Structure 1
Amino acid sequence: MQDPTPHLDERFSDPAAQATPWATVRKALETAQLFWITTVRADGRPHVTPLVAVWLDDALHFGTGPEEQKAVNLSHNPQVVLTTGCNDWTQGLDVMVEGEARRVTDRPTLERLAAVWATKWTGQWQYQVADTGFVHNGGEALVLAVKPTKILAFTKGTFTQTRYAP
């Protein structure tokens, strides 16, 4: 994706606030150690759970076991929201990414993703690449990518709401 143009939403921003630069948001996506994913159950109820994700090739990638609730939900509805940030009111940046989760099975991409996961958390997430995704601790992990359809960034302290639409 080309660097998207930030659009400040003045309704939810302090007077004279500036839009958060895309480089700041991208860095937050690249360095975040934890995200929260929201999926929708078949009966319409939301499901939220923490997970680790990596930003690569202009998309957020995450893994899940095929029988985990989020995987079951995604089989009915691929729309997701991934959120990261800080729970401090006076400082920090919260970022929300909306999009559709799509399965990744391309072996070269999976190998690149496994390498990123292995280095991001000082080796805590070691995946072996298989034809259908990852193998982790002897179990299968589906790998999914979310290309953003909308990104919102919320800066705290000086409050801003910035929208990026690829």
Structure 2
Amino acid sequence: MTTPTVEFDGRFSEPGATAVPWAEVETILLEAKMFWLSTVRRDGRPHVTPVPMIFDGGQLHFTVGLGEQKMVNLAGNPRVAVTTGTPALTSGTDVVTEGTAVRVTDRDRLLALAGLWRSRLDWDYEVDGDTYHHQGGTAHVFGVSPAKILAFGKSPYSQTRYRF
């Protein structure tokens, strides 16, 4: 992952606020367990679901069961928004990632990600060809390379944009 261009937006920040450091955003993405994935239905309506994800190699990775609404949506429009953060009002940082979901099919990469899911989230995936199998069924793996990330600091309130 390349180091992003950082743009602090004072219009949406409190006086005295500064840009959220990129290292802090990376740590949030690495340590978060649950994210909210936003996809778009064919008729343009949003579809938002909580999804466990793994941040690795500059990408957010998630799995989608073959019969899920997310899969239908991604087939029609692979652009997504992914959010994570904290429910606190006056502390922490919320992070929004925008990008395009691309299916991961490389066996070595799938094996490496399965190991990360096991070690970080205690989820056990078995790689079979270019899919994952688990007790819930078969899933495809997607990776999202960020096009833009927004970080919203909460103490003081700030908005920082990272472009890739």
TM-score tier (shorter):
over 0.9
Describe the SS at the equivalent of 1:6.
Answer: strand
Name the residue aligned to 1:50: 50
What whole-Å deviation, never above 9, does each CA across 1:95-138 have from its counterpart, x for those lacking one? 000000000000010011001111112x2x11011112211116
- Structure 1, gaps ≥5 residues long: none
1:152 is the counterpart of 2:150: yes
Greater displacement, 45-54 / 131-140: 131-140
Any runs of at least 4 consecutive aligned residues in structure 1 with deviations exceeding 3 A, and if so which?
A: none
Name the residue aligned to 1:63: 63
Describe the SS at the equivalent of 1:164.
Answer: strand
What whole-Å deviation, never above 9, does each CA across 1:22-58 have from its counterpart, x for those lacking one? 1100000000010000000011100000000001110
1:93-104 correspondence to structure 2 within 5 Å? 93-104=93-104
The answer to whether the 8 A contact 1:63-1:144 is kept is yes
CA distance in 1, matches of 2:136, 2:146: 31
The answer to whether the 8 A contact 2:110-2:130 is kept is no
The answer to whether the 8 A contact 1:6-1:20 is kept is no
CA distance in 2, matches of 1:25, 1:120: 18
Amino acid at match of 1:161: Q
Aligned residues: 164
The answer to whether the 8 A contact 1:5-1:22 is kept is no
1:4 is the counterpart of 2:15: no
The answer to whether the 8 A contact 1:79-1:101 is kept is yes
What RMSD in Å do the two structures reach over aligned CA positions? 0.9
Name the residue aligned to 1:76: 76
Q: TM-score, normalised by structure 2?
A: 0.97
CA distance in 1, matches of 2:22, 2:139: 31
Describe the SS at the equivalent of 1:115.
Answer: helix
Name the residue aligned to 1:129: 127
| Identity within the alignment, % | 49
- Structure 2, gaps ≥5 residues long: none
Q: TM-score, normalised by structure 1?
A: 0.96
CA distance in 1, matches of 2:112, 2:34: 20
